[in-house]
Amino acid sequence: MQKIIIATNNDKKLNEIKSLMHMSNINFCSLSDLNIDSCPEPFDTFIENALAKARHASKNTGLPAVADDSGICVDALEGKPGIRSARYASLTATDKENITKLLENLNGETNRKAHFYCSMVFVRHYLDPEPLITEGIWAGEILKSPQGSNGFGYDSIFLDFKTEKSSAELALDIKNRISHRAQALQKLTHKLKMIYD
């Protein structure tokens, strides 16, 4: 059975990725499973950061690696928080602190359009010259206050246009069909099945 490392120490993100990648012939593990620190994210694009994380994980384990970089991009804030979504309020910010800062920055703003973006990367080995790269975009808008208790990150203030519910109000099976990460992972899983099936 092929072993692939998912380049994250975020348990919620790890569980979401594992549940979306239905591949019975692959054993997924995480950085924390192998006692490896997270990679710095020094770049200004999601793709570059995801690729850096995948290469870091592969270099430190000798395994193929999957990594994502994702965030929420708000039109009225010129795409911010963007790549700094997890560190928007500070380097050690909690989800609640990030949400509070975003809502404060949108106070009085009528244009609340936003989207979640995810770049997903797979490398066969550390120096893979042909990484597989996919993306997903989930359109919606920012609510004025949190709604729902599921999910993580900005889920409670992101309103999905199609369901008219916050991401945190959606049942997991629905979120796993329409989210930015789900879209990117569906495309990546299709490509991986061509390699490992």
Amino acid identity, position 13: K
Check the annotation: does 87 bind a ligand. no
Domain range for 182: 2-196
Give the tokens for residue 137. 């975009």
Q: How many domains are there within the chain?
A: 1
Element (H, E) at 176: helix 172-178
> Quick one: pLDDT band at residue 33, thresholds 50, 70, 90?
confident
Helix (H, G, I), strand (E, B) or coil at 136: strand
pLDDT of res. 5: 92
SS3 state of residue 64: coil
Q: Per the structure block, which two tokens stand in for 108?
A: 């009085």
Annotated binding residue at 96?
Answer: no
**pLDDT-based confidence at residue 28 (cuts at 50, 70, 90):** confident
Residue 66 pLDDT: 95
- Give the dihedral sign, CA 2/122/8/152: negative
Check residue 96 and give its pLDDT: 96
Cβ proximity of 53 and 6 under 8 Å:
no
Per-residue pLDDT, 176:
87
56 is in an annotated binding site: no
Q: Counting beta carbons within 10 angstroms of the beta carbon of residue 129, is it exposed (0 to 12), middle (13 to 18) or buried (19 or more)? A: exposed
The annotation status of 10 as a binding-site residue, yes or no, is yes
Q: Evaluate whether 156 touches 148 at the Cβ level (below 8 Å).
A: yes
Percent of the chain having pLDDT more than 70?
A: 99
Beta strands 65-74 and 113-123, pairing class: antiparallel
pLDDT at 21: 78
Strand order in the sheet with 26-30: 26-30, 2-6, 65-74, 113-123, 132-142, 158-160, 165-166
Token reading at 154: 């900005």
Q: Which H or E element spans position 122?
A: strand 113-123
Question: In this structure, what CATH number is given to the domain that contains residue 14?
Answer: 3.90.950.10
CB 25 within 8 A of CB 2: yes
Q: Do the annotations mark residue 189 as ligand-binding?
A: no
pLDDT tens digit sequence for 140-194:
999 999 999 998 899 999 999 999 999 999 998 899 899 999 999 999 988 988 8
**pTM across the whole model:** 0.91
Positions marked catalytic: 69
Q: If pLDDT is split at 50, 70 and 90, which confidence band does 195 have?
A: confident
pLDDT in tens, 62-89: 999 999 999 999 999 999 999 999 999 9
